[in-house]
């Protein structure tokens, strides 16, 4: 059956919906009702949503939840999270509460450089190209002045332009490798506008450069585009406390918990099959806040996973250690985020999320997002490691209790059978022994 259609984008919203309903559904009226059920009753608000993307027919809702009690560098935050997976928000909130009484999270923005590249082919003398680049380098800055002026006033702009020779990997391939500081904006449009101007200047100046042959003058720009790999836009988030301070309801044996936790992280550091799931848990927290604040979670995901592979093997983003009786858990991750521009000024819920966070700068948002990822990872690892610890411990402990109460062989059999499907605790074992002896 052919379901192709010409000129779909030119149809009205109503016509698009009718076509979808009549083409794909046995009961078109029901399909139309469902689609319209998710429209916003406020027409202006609905139009705003319709214009975010193309060919819009309705809205697709994701729940927005709240994780309170995040203490970051001594300041308390309530973190909005947009995600469809159950228990993620609960886990983040639980971790936040847990660490709020153990010194909270510490964060640092290590660097905030972003990268863009002009990719071009040059069939000629490499040394000549390098001389040409050094001769015209200042013109790149002059040519982009009109674009960078406002950004420079905010303390951003182009930080550096390098010529990179990539011919060893691909014949005739060179790059203008450009670093940027975009302050509170994510900066994608700004970076791409600068790169397109740099490409134009590169082509124009090549035509005018008298040292080039006719072939060399015809260098070919393939594309100009920002990179979502931002290994110099890094934020560090960490928690630490004395091992004994890890103790709580579920952690009766803090030393053993800490050691097992560290081993769980080490497994994720060396085993890619575990690392992918381990890091996915981190991204549960990160993506939820990135979405809530109107940022691009696909860009963040791509950059983070590339960073996790930077050693040549995919590895854990987080790390843990015990040193001189202190447990530390931390990660350093690349995050290119913005709090101005894009959806941040358009989407009413994004505005609200940023208000809840206290209108953070991009640097502050980087820190909040990283902390939420680390909190999520801590919650997952605590859950994965403690149940085993408690069960294992109490099974070992069961023999000690039975010996203490001089249980007979028959009593031991009955007690073992009872606890096959029940959690072992000292009081429940004693209670069972007393009942058996009545």
Active site residues: 85, 280, 296, 393
DSSP state of 115: E
Containing 30, the helix (H) or strand (E) segment is helix 28-37
- CA-angle at 307, arms to 303 and 312, nearest 5°: 135
End-to-end CA distance of the chain: 76
DSSP 8-state symbol, 343: G
d(CA 295, CA 343): 7
List the structure tokens of 296.
């691009």
Q: CB–CB of 157/151 below 8 Å?
A: yes
Structure tokens at 74: 């001594």
Instruction: Quote the radius of gyration of the chain (alpha carbons, Å).
Output: 29
Neighbours of 62 (CB within 10 A): 12
In 3D space, the residue among 98, 433, 393 whose CA is nearest the CA of residue 245 turns out to be 98
The token pair at 60 is 């697709």
b (16+ CB within 10 A) / e for 185-206: bbbbebbebbbbbbbebbbebb
What the block records as the tokens of 233 is 């836009």
**Tokens 């670093």 correspond to what residue?**
179
Partners of 178 in the β-ladder: 116, 161
d(CA 310, CA 314): 8
Distance CA 186, CA 336 (A): 6
Q: SS3 helix, strand, coil % of the chain, rounded to 5?
A: 50, 20, 30
């Amino acid at each position: 059956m052919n379901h192709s259609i010409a000129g779909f984008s030119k149809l009205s919203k109503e016509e698009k919906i009718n076509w979808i309903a009549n083409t794909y559904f046995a009961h078109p009226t029901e399909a139309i009702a469902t689609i319209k059920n998710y429209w916003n009753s406020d027409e202006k608000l609905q139009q705003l949503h319709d214009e975010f993307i193309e060919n819009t027919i309705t809205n697709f809702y994701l729940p927005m939840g709240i994780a309170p009690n995040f203490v970051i560098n001594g300041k308390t935050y309530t973190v909005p999270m947009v995600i469809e997976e159950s228990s993620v928000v609960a886990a983040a909130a639980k971790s936040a509460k847990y660490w709020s009484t153990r010194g909270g999270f510490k964060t640092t923005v290590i660097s905030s450089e972003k990268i863009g590249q002009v990719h071009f082919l040059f069939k000629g003398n490499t040394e000549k190209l390098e001389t040409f680049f050094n001769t015209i380098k200042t013109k790149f800055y002059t040519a982009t002045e009109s674009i960078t002026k406002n950004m420079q006033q905010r303390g951003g702009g182009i930080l550096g332009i390098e010529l990179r020779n990539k011919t060893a990997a691909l014949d005739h391939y060179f790059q203008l490798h450009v670093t940027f500081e975009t302050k509170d904006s994510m900066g994608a449009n700004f970076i791409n506008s600068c790169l397109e101007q740099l490409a134009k200047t590169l082509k124009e100046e090549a035509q005018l450069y008298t040292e080039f042959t006719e072939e060399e003058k015809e260098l070919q720009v393939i594309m100009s585009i920002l990179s979502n790999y931002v290994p110099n836009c890094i934020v560090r988030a960490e928690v630490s406390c004395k091992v004994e301070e890890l103790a709580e309801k579920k952690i009766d044996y803090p030393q053993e918990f800490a050691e097992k936790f560290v081993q769980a992280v080490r497994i994720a550091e060396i085993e890619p099959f575990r690392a992918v799931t381990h890091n996915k848990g981190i991204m549960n927290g990160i993506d939820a806040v990135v979405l809530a604040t109107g940022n691009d979670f696909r860009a963040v995901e791509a950059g983070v996973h590339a960073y996790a592979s930077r050693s040549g093997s995919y590895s854990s983003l987080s790390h843990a250690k015990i040193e001189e009786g202190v447990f530390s858990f931390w990660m350093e991750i690349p995050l290119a985020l913005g709090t101005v521009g894009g959806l941040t000024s358009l989407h009413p819920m994004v505005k609200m999320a940023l208000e809840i966070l206290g209108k953070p700068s991009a640097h502050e948002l980087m820190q909040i997002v990283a902390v939420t990822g680390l909190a999520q990872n801590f919650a997952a690892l605590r859950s994965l490691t403690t149940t085993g610890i408690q069960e294992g411990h109490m099974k070992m402990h069961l023999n000690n209790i039975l010996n203490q109460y001089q249980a007979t062989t028959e009593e031991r059999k009955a007690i073992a059978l009872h606890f096959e499907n029940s959690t072992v605790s000292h009081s429940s074992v004693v209670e069972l022994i007393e009942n058996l002896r009545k």
